[in-house]
């Protein structure tokens, strides 16, 4: 199948491209700066920017399926408008080009929840992508564990630097993290499952953990003592993001949407995807050990400022 990947330089996209080629697909990567991208053998690279629709037509020529792995985690206060514009441009050009399938990686969370601004934007993008002439498959994930993940880097550095943490009450919320390799397996697998076209699925790993438990088990994997975690009602997510920006190298502009996105429990309530795409799920502990390995070989996420692939706004 002729496949286009947007966000090929990101945390997930950087792994998806070689997985698609290994599965026998002919892959084209849409990137803003081809000189900064070293594609796997056989991958065609096309320059374009989803915020500039005039640059996109050639990228979609002859494409049967496309992946949308783009969002503006670092784009500043106008991120919602940028996400809206990028998704609208993609949907219009893909429809005009006759693309049959689009696969979108969104964020897990109940629609009725008081969602964070970034997760609300992800849902708006989902609706924009769905209102087009192709069949959209949406996969929704919570925390994605892997080397190169901003949220995992944040957890790892907190564990390494702070034996005592004072956190908001969200540290007791439940989450269903998933290994990045399993996310990629689902993304590739839905192309061979035509019955998933037009459907939305939650995807998660085999473990449901609180954020406190995730910190503790990451500490164990690192060979460190479990941090003492104290949750207090007066510490707001906004203040927490400033604090994280001070004690880790995760910029406050990135930490804030991540922390805001942790306020809601995010657990898969329907695992119907497993009826169509069988994936041998990786435990949280194994995913952490792999992410910590010196030879994890993760592609570096693209720098901030423009919409890019990577982590779900407010969650990864």
Q: Which residues contact 108 (CB under 8 A, 6 or more apart)?
A: 140, 141, 142, 176, 202, 203, 204, 266, 267, 268, 315
For tokens 């037509």, what's the residue? 57
Give the number of other Cβ atoms within 10 Å of residue 182's Cβ.
22
207, two tokens = 């473990």
**What is the distance between the alpha carbons of residues 22 and 11, in angstroms, rounded to a whole number?**
18
Please, which pLDDT band fits residue 298 given cuts at 50, 70 and 90? very low
Please, which pLDDT band fits residue 72 given cuts at 50, 70 and 90? low
Mean pLDDT of 117-129: 86
Q: Is 164 exposed, middle or buried (0-12, 13-18, 19+ CB in 10 A)?
A: exposed
Domain covering 2-292 assigned CATH 3.40.50.720 in the classification: yes
pLDDT at residue 167 is higher than 80: no
**What is the distance between the alpha carbons of residues 89 and 55, in angstroms, rounded to a whole number?**
10
For tokens 């090929």, what's the residue? 8
Looking only at the bridges linking them, the beta strands covering 144-145 and 174-175 are: unpaired
Give the number of other Cβ atoms within 10 Å of residue 77's Cβ.
7
Most confident of 92-96, 144-148, 173-177, 230-234: 92-96
H, E, C per residue of 204-243: CCCCCEEHHHHHHHHHHHCCCCCCEEEECCCCCHHHHHHH
Looking only at the bridges linking them, the beta strands covering 209-210 and 174-175 are: antiparallel
Query: What are the residue boundaries of the structural domains of the chain, listed by start?
Result: 2-292
Please, which pLDDT band fits residue 233 given cuts at 50, 70 and 90? low
Q: Which helix (H) or strand (E) holds 101?
A: strand 101-107
């Amino acid at each position: 199948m002729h496949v286009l990947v947007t966000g090929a330089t990101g945390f997930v996209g950087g792994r998806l491209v070689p997985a698609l080629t290994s599965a026998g697909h002919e892959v084209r990567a849409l990137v803003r700066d081809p000189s900064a991208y070293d594609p796997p053998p056989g991958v065609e690279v096309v320059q374009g920017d989803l915020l500039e629709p005039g640059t996109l037509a050639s990228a979609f020529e002859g494409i049967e399926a496309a992946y949308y792995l783009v969002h503006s985690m670092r784009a500043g206060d106008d991120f919602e408008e940028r996400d809206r514009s990028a998704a609208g441009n993609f949907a219009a050009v893909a429809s005009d080009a006759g693309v049959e399938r689009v696969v979108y990686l969104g964020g897990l969370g109940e629609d009725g929840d008081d969602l964070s601004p970034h997760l609300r934007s992800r849902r708006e993008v989902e609706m924009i992508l769905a209102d087009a002439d192709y069949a959209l498959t949406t996969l929704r994930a919570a925390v994605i564990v892997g080397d190169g993940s901003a949220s995992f880097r944040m957890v790892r550095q907190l564990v390494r630097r702070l034996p005592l943490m004072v956190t908001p009450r969200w540290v007791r919320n439940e989450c269903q993290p998933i290994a990045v390799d399993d996310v990629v397996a689902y993304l590739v697998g839905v192309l061979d499952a035509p019955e998933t076209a037009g459907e939305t699925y939650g995807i998660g790993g085999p473990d449901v953990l609180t954020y406190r438990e995730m910190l503790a088990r990451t500490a164990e994997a690192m060979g460190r003592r479990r941090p003492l975690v104290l949750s207090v009602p007066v510490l707001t997510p906004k203040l927490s993001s400033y604090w994280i920006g001070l004690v880790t190298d995760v910029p406050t502009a990135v930490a804030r949407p991540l922390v805001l996105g942790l306020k809601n429990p995010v657990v898969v309530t329907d695992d119907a995807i497993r009826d169509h795409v069988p994936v041998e799920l990786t435990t949280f502990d194994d995913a952490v050990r792999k992410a910590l390995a010196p030879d994890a070989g993760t592609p570096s996420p693209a720098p901030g400022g423009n919409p890019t692939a990577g982590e779900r706004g407010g969650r990864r």
